[in-house]
Amino acid sequence: MGIANEGEILEFLTYIMRREDEEIRMADSFKAAELLGKHYGMFGGKSESGGGDVIIVDNIEKAEQIKERKNAVQS
């Protein structure tokens, strides 16, 4: 048996992530998901959609203030 190729590793990580064996721990499943996400570049810090930072505000007035400040900085 030689060294595993990329496809074999991705299949193995997918198997672990999906917990196809009842003995696979949830922590191992999360780690496999993290490694797959890193492989596919899902955690690069910038989204492909080009959207900026997401700010959740539960106060509409505060949201307007943040929007005005952001526009002032970008001008």
End-to-end CA distance of the chain: 61
Q: Is residue 1 part of a domain?
A: no
Q: Please state the domain count of the chain.
A: 1
Q: Is residue 63 part of a domain?
A: yes
pTM for the full model?
0.56
Q: Mean per-residue pLDDT for 55-68?
A: 70
Q: Is residue 67 part of a domain?
A: yes
Element (H, E) at 32: helix 26-39
Q: Is residue 62 part of a domain?
A: yes
pLDDT tens digits for 6-53? 999 999 999 999 999 999 999 999 999 999 999 988 887 655 555 667
Q: Output the pLDDT for position 16.
A: 94
Q: Is residue 28 part of a domain?
A: yes
Residues spanned by the domain of 52: 6-74
Q: Which residue has the tokens 């700010």?
A: 55
